[in-house]
Amino acid sequence: MKKEEIKRRIQNMKDRREDMKVIKEYFKVFFIKTNAYNMVAFVDKENKCFCFGDECFDERLTFEYAKNADYSNIVGCETAEDVKYITGAGDGEIYDFEEIEKYAEKILEF
């Protein structure tokens, strides 16, 4: 791997960490595993959440992949409704997080 590519990857990792710091001012972020699929949930201060399923990611959604994914488009959002609209998923559902928890086999915060 070339030196420039290594520098670019390191900078991307730093940028993603900074993005997550900003996002976590408004949200708790969870990796959720159910018996049918995996998803990432952004839970706001009202305990409302917007979820991204496997189909929203370039690779199979695992906890490690979810932790390192690019969520820069969510920076600036303050509510689950904001996430829904900023990501272009206007017809997506907003859930009470308790409803999601009922079906989860595993929930990991990151």
Quote the number of domains for the chain: 1
Structural domain harbouring 7: 3-109
pLDDT band at 62 (very low <50, low <70, confident <90, very high): very high
**Within a 10 A sphere around the Cβ of 15, how many other Cβ atoms?**
12
Closest CA to 76 of 27, 12, 9, 8: 27
pLDDT confidence band for 10 (50 / 70 / 90): confident
State the average pLDDT over residues 24-38.
95
φ, ψ (nearest 5 deg) of residue 109? -85, 145
Looking at residue 88, its pLDDT comes to: 78
Token pair for 28: 């708790």
Give the β-pairing of 48-53 and 28-33: unpaired
Average pLDDT over residues 25-31: 98
Q: What is the pTM of this model?
A: 0.85
Instruction: Provide the pLDDT for residue 91.
Output: 65
**Tokens 């929203």 found at:** 56
Query: What is the Cβ-side half-sphere exposure of residue 90, based on CA atoms within 13 angstroms?
Result: 1
